[in-house]
Amino acid sequence: MSVIVERALGAVGTGEAMLFHRPFGFLGLAIEGGSPTSIFRPDATPAHSIFGLSMFILAITGTIFAVVTGLLIYALIKFRQREADTSGEPAQIFGSTQIETAWTVIPLLIVVVMFLTAARVILATQAIPKPAKTLDVQVVGHQFWWEYRYPKQGFVTANELHIPASDPAHPLPTYLEMSSADVIHSFWVPRLAGKLDVVPQHVNTMWFDPSKPGLYLGQCAQYCGVNHAKMLLRVYVDSPEDFAAWVKRQQAVPEGVTSTDPAIAEGKLVFEKNACVNCHTVSGTVAKGRFGPDLTHVGSRDTIASGAIENTPENLRKWIEDPNQMKPGALMPAMRLNDRDLDAVTKYMTALR
């Protein structure tokens, strides 16, 4: 399973990322320890502007913390009851209107400043018009997996989102139109943008424009049922050429469908004779179900089970045998296939590239 995280780390563990954090040097490093999901390592616009705002607010609250804690400690030391003191009760002071006014007005001014800064980021993220050139993806949250539909390119995939890197000179941001097929989920890839909920019967739109190719991780951030913890997110930011090649492969009929290899053809037959087709789609075949992930190019994915399991033939076979063994709460039932059928279907799945 190590490959899942290593590739993501490879994308972030560069000197540049460290350099970016020099102002907070040691503390930043100690806190992060190279996390691939740190909100303090932004790599796309919304995450960047949020990071800037965070630092501003941290600086203000940090100052308030230092001042008030200092006063508190000073008061505790200076005004402690001393053994030798026998002079009775201290002077009773009941209040002072001037002082009360001061510590009402000053915080109010600080609040106004923080509010205006925050409002700027809100408007810059949520209230800007959509540019002419974008990549549009429809995201559908399902209990414990993600469906990605590319309407302009005309294909559907699941669990691994591929988007093109956006060149700052010719920006090509990705716009996600998100909705849910069942309960509320939340789309959160910390290094790209803040989270946004994926709500049934309600469309939310988010965007980001990462410039560096790499793998960005995240996961569902709204409790959505038994296996909420394993509803992981993988966003592959590809170079424009890689992305174009990937789109081309996704639009093509997978080799497993047309293969003449008898083992693969047998797997296809088993797949289509069983209930698999009620829930899954393999384009170019009779399998047209929409309840489960689109399997057209499942063989080319790095992971199965929404990023939770590395995509190897052994894992795939175990998954088909009984999904709940590997991911408790998965809605796919154990299909009770015999060993021969299991091998055949696994072969077919692996060939769907």
Partner 1 sequence: MAVTEAVDLTAQPKGKHLWLEHVYDWVTSVDHKKIGIMYIVYSLFFLVIAGVMALVIRLQLMVPNNHVVSPQTFNRLFTMHGTTMVFFVGMPILFGFGNYLVPLMIGARDMAFPRLNAFSFWLSAFGGILLYFSYLGGEGLFGAGSAPDVGWFAYAPLTEKVFSPGHSTDYWTLSLLLTGIGTVATSINLMVTMISMRCKGMTMTRMPLLPWLYFVTSFLALIAIGPLTAAQVMLMLDRYVGSHFFDTQAGGSAILWVHFFWIFGHPEVYILVMPAFAFANEIIPVFSRKAIFGYPAMVAASVSIAFISAGVWAHHMFTIGLGPGANTFFTLSTMIIAVPTGIKIFNWLATLWGGKIRFKSPMLFCLAFLFQFLVAGLTGIMLSAAPFDWQLGNSYFVIAHFHYVLVGAILFCIFGAFYYWYPKAIGRMMNERLGKWHFWLMVIGFHLTFDFMHVPGILGMPRRIYTYEAGRGWEYWNMIVGIGAVFQAVATLVFVYNLVWSYKHGEIAGRDPWDAWTLEWTTSSPPPDYNFALAPSVGSRRPLWDLKHPEDPDSNYE
Within 102-131, the residues that bind partner 1 by CB under 8 A are 103-104, 107-108, 111, 114-115, 117-119, 121-123, 125-127
**39: Cβ contacts below 8 Å, ≥ 6 apart:** 47, 50, 51, 54, 190, 191
Which residues have C-beta within 8 Å of that of residue 263, sequence separation ≥ 6? 344, 347
Q: What residue has token string 């991780």?
A: 217
Asked if 100 interacts with partner 1 (CB under 8 A), we say yes
- Which residue lies nearer to partner 1 by CB, 26 or 79? 79
Among 18, 20, 24, 37, binds partner 1 (CB under 8 A): 37
Full DSSP string of 181-227 = SSS-EEE--TTT---EEE-BT--EEEEE---S-EEEEEE--S--STT
Q: What are phi and psi of 72, to 5 degrees?
A: -60, -50
Binding-site size for partner 1 (CB under 8 A) equals 96
Tokens linked to 78: 């200076």
232-238 sheet: strands from edge to edge: 160-164, 232-238, 214-219
The helix/strand/coil state of 194 is coil
Q: Which is nearer to partner 1, 172 or 181 (CB)?
A: 181
Could you tell me if 175 and 208 are in contact, meaning their C-beta atoms sit under 8 angstroms apart? no
Minimum Å gap between C-beta 163 and partner 1 is 19
Q: Which of 10, 22, 25, 71 binds partner 1 (CB under 8 A)?
A: 71
Among 15, 26, 84, 95, binds partner 1 (CB under 8 A): 95
Is the separation of the CB atoms in 188 and 219 below 8 Å? yes
Amino acid (one-letter) located at 191:
R
Number of other CB atoms surrounding residue 248 within 10 Å: 10
Question: Quick one: which of 13, 14, 22, 65 contacts partner 1 (CB under 8 A)?
Answer: 65
- CB nearer to partner 1: pick between 111 and 286: 111
Residues 228-257 that bind partner 1 (CB under 8 A): 228-229
Residue 90 touches partner 1, criterion: CB under 8 A: yes
> Looking at beta carbons only, is 10 or 284 nearer to partner 1?
10
Report the nearest approach of partner 1 to the CB of residue 202 (Å).
6
When binding is defined by CB under 8 A, the residue of 18, 172, 183, 277 that contacts partner 1 is 183
Whole-angstrom distance, CA of residue 15 vs CA of residue 25: 13
Rank residues 38 and 159 by Cβ distance to partner 1 and give the closer one.
Answer: 38
- When asked if residue 26 is in the footprint of partner 1 (CB under 8 A), the reply is no
Using rule CB under 8 A, residue 91 touches partner 1: yes
CA-to-CA distance for 315 and 259, rounded, in angstroms?
Answer: 23
Per-residue mark of binding to partner 1, 197-226 (x: CB under 8 A): x-xxxx-x------------xxxxxxxxxx
Identify the DSSP state of 321: H
